[in-house]
Structure 1
Amino acid sequence: MYATPKKLKDTIVNQRSLQLHKAIADKVLASPHLLEKAKDNLEARYNNGLMRYGSYMLWQGILETAGSPETFKQLLLAQDERTASLRKSTIFVGILTEQEREDALSAMP
């Protein structure tokens, strides 16, 4: 069975997002003060009606595990459909520089 163009596009988008979030996870774990920016983004999006309560709670849960690096990475980088969808509207906007984004994407297998 062949993948439809939309499924193929979704797969590519999900792989790129996952790769970027791997770099994000490493950076925020190395510099925990960056989590404040993500928390601010989360609150602003939720308070402005740009995010549903369920997504808000999932992001809250992920952020709360930042003190446990392995758990944080497992939750942020989970391969399930819901987490992949969550990453498409990431709260980690502005964490990576453009060069870091390019480096992360060029490291894709």
Structure 2
Amino acid sequence: MFSRPKKNQQVIVDRQILHLHQAMADKCLENPALFDEVLDNLERKHELNFIRYGSYLLWHAILETRDDPETFKNLLLATDSRTNALRRKTIFSGVLNEAEREAVLATYIASELA
């Protein structure tokens, strides 16, 4: 087995996380009640100091756009380094069940092999 340089590994992880967030965004937009759980996750992570205040504010700014799905998805799925880092400490935990998560990752893997 060969090893990938660390930067390549991080790019792959960021792509996987992006695909997961696309699915989580779609699911939340289809079922807006899920945003309550996401907001609870944000508050809990902030209270436990799992995320910094800047990330807390950025997550809030993204969530405030949820009534405009296009803007919400554009902000959540931006591919800049700051948003990539933000998604690595996601507040969308629990939105996808394990079967949904596995299906998204399988789709991602298939798209990389095509």
Report TM bin, short chain: over 0.9
List, as ranges, runs of 4+ consecutive aligned residues in structure 1 with deviation greater than 6 Å: none
Residue of structure 2 in register with 1:59 after alignment? 59
Structure 1 residue 51: deviation in Å?
1.2
The reply to whether residue 49 of structure 1 matches residue 34 of structure 2 is no
Question: What is the distance in 2 between the residues matched to 1:29 and 1:67?
Answer: 9
The range that moved more, 23-32 or 40-49, is: 40-49
Distance 2:106 2:73 in 1: 21
Q: Could you tell me the TM-score, scaled by structure 1's length?
A: 0.94
Instruction: State the Cα RMSD in Å.
Output: 0.8
Q: TM-score, normalised by structure 2?
A: 0.90
**In 2, Cα distance between equivalents of 1:29 and 1:95:** 11
Which runs of 5 or more structure 1 residues have no equivalent in the other structure? Answer: none
Q: How does 1:96-107 map to 2 (within 5 A)?
A: 96-107=96-107
Map 1:12-23; keep pairs closer than 5 Å: 12-23=12-23
Separation in structure 2 between the aligned mates of residue 25 and residue 94 of structure 1, nearest angstrom? 12
Percent identity over the alignment is 51
Q: Residue 34 of structure 2 corresponds to which residue in structure 1?
A: 34
**What letter corresponds to residue 87 of structure 2 in structure 1?**
R
